[in-house]
Structure 1
Amino acid sequence: MHLTIGSILSAESLAQARALMDQLRWSDGAKTAGPTARRVKRNRQADLSSNAGARLKTLLESALAKHVTFNAATRPKRFSKLLVTETSDGGEYGAHVDNPFMGRGEARIRTDVSFTLFLSDPDSYEGGELVIDQAGATQSVKGQAGDVFVYPSTYLHAVSPVTSGVRRVCVGWIESDIPDAGDRELLFDLENLHASLSRQHTPHSPEMLTVTKLFANLSRRLSR
């Protein structure tokens, strides 16, 4: 499932994030890429070890963790470390697939879901579209600041060259309780149906009890 979720960050939170980003140190983003992706990655990555970086990390993690739609679409079990990157001056990230596993030891996760949280207004830079390759077709995404785009980590994808301005985003990966993308979409649709029916029926009506039962039992069957 490919999904844009609007306004993960409020206007106030977005302003705070931008102020914190202006205090950060930036270095070559290729340092965190895998051997293949490193050859096509031309961007910069923020150092989040400073006080400002830690505050930015907490702000972004909190916004993602609290958002109902984001959690319903991704079913997070564990998150990777967040990365904040900026791309400008013709920088890009060529076609690549994300590593199947990230981190080490107890922090090691399987990457089921990738996400990009847009931090720059789309009209403040040219180019920089996130391009998803879907078996011969492509989807091009350039979200509004504060929006997040989620998609399965299994797809080839790229960031087109930024020809003017600066593109800043937060990216991360999720190990999901529901590893299969199709199963996550099924549960997402069922949860939306539950929300819709709740406006028409009481919690203990036969309709609501049946949908609740279906959701719970499918979640058990499909989880790992």
Structure 2
Amino acid sequence: MLLAIDNVLSKEEVAQCRAIIDGLEWIDGNQTSGPLAASQKRNQQLPRDDASANEVGQAIVDRLLSDARFISAALPLKFYPPLFNRYQAGQTFGNHIDNAIRHTPDGMVRTDLSATLFLTEPDQYDGGELVVEDTYGSHSVKLAAGSLVLYPSTSLHRVEPVTRGARTSAFMWLQSMVRDEGQRRLLYQLDNSIQRLAGEQHGEVTELTGIYHNLIRRWADS
């Protein structure tokens, strides 16, 4: 399931993030690449051990953990801390699939879901679309600054070449409580149905809510 979540950060919060990260030292983006991906990738990133970038990343995680839309879709268990990349004119990242396991100081993270939080307005650069492939075809994503796209890490995807300006984003991976993408989709659809019915005071809401939580008990990793 590919899902766009609008306004994760306000425009003011995006500006605050950019005021911090734009002034940091950017390095070659292949610091997080495996050997195959490195041949496809041309961009810049902030170092994983940059304290200021990590503070901004933690603020993004905190915001996501308070966003009911994100929680419903992702059912997050563990995060790989957000990183930041920048694509300038001529830079791109060809077709690739993200590594299945990422290592953090706190242990391994299985990458069930990938996310990109856009930090540049679409009219400030040309190209730079995130293109995600699935069984329904290719999906081109270019969102407003402060909005996020969430998609399965099993997906083949790429970033089209930037031809004008620069595209700055945060990107991250997470391990879901529910490993299976199809099960996560069903739970997301059920949760959305419950929320709609709850607003109409239907008597079946309690029963459906119980079914939802019992499915999570059956499917969730600890």
TM-score range, shorter chain: over 0.9
CA distance in 2, matches of 1:209, 1:138: 39
Change in 2 beyond 3 A, CA 1:214/1:110: same
In structure 1, what residue type is equivalent to 2:72?
A
Q: Note closer, same or farther for the CA distance 1:223–1:44 as it changes in structure 2 (3 Å cut).
A: same
- Amino acid in structure 1 at the alignment position of 2:57: K
Structure 2: distance between partners of 1:115 and 1:36: 21
Match of 1:209 in 2: 206
Q: CA deviation at 1:145?
A: 0.6
Which residue does 1:70 correspond to in 2?
A: 70
Give the alignment of 1:1-224 within 5 angstroms: 1-47=1-47, 49-103=49-103, 106-135=106-135, 137-201=137-201, 206-224=203-221
2:80–2:104 CA contact under 8 A, matched in 1: no
User: In structure 2, what is the Cα distance between the partners aligned to 1:17 and 1:117?
Assistant: 12
Given residue 158 of structure 2, which amino acid in structure 1 is its aligned partner?
A
Asked if structure 2 preserves the Cα contact closer than 8 Å seen for 1:125 and 1:164, the reply is yes
Asked whether the equivalents of residues 80 and 173 of structure 1 are also in contact (C-alpha less than 8 Å), the reply is yes
TM-score in terms of structure 2 length: 0.94
Name the CA distance, whole Å, in 2 between partners of 1:106 and 1:11: 32
Report SS of the residue matched to 2:81: coil
CA distance in 2, matches of 1:83, 1:194: 34
Q: How many angstroms does 1:51 deviate by?
A: 4.8
Letter of the structure 2 residue corresponding to residue 218 of structure 1 = L
Q: In structure 2, give the amino acid aligned to 1:99.
A: N
Aligned-residue Cα RMSD (Å) equals 1.5
Q: Given that residues 23 and 52 in structure 1 are in contact (C-alpha distance below 8 angstroms), is that contact kept between their aligned partners in structure 2?
A: no
Do 1:24 and 1:48's aligned partners in 2 also have CA atoms closer than 8 Å?
no
CA distance, structure 2, for counterparts of residue 50 and residue 38 of structure 1: 22
Q: CA deviation at 1:53?
A: 2.0
Kept in 2, the 8 Å contact 1:96–1:156? The answer is: yes
Aligned partner of residue 9 in structure 2, secondary structure = coil
Rounded to whole Å, the distance in 2 between the matches of 1:54 and 1:155 is 26
Q: 1:220 to 1:126 in 2, by over 3 A?
A: same
In the alignment, structure 1 segments of 5+ residues that lack a partner are none
Q: Percent identity between the aligned chains?
A: 38
Q: Normalised by the size of structure 1, how large is the TM-score?
A: 0.94
Distance apart, 1:49 and its partner CA? 3.8
Query: 2:126 and 2:80 mapped to 1: Cα distance?
Result: 29
Moved over 6 A (4+): none
1 CA distance for matches of 2:128 and 2:18?
Answer: 18
- Taking a change above 3 Å as real, the CA distance of residues 198 and 145 of structure 1, as seen in their structure-2 partners, is same
Gaps in structure 2 of 5+ consecutive residues: none
Structure-1 separation of matches of 2:102 and 2:185:
24
Q: For the residues of structure 1 that align with 2:43 and 2:50, how far apart are their CA atoms?
A: 20
Range moving further from structure 2, 130-139 or 212-221: 130-139
43-52 or 134-143, larger mean C-alpha shift: 43-52
Structure 1 position 105, deviation (Å): 6.7
Distance in 1 between the 2:60 and 2:48 partners?
Answer: 12
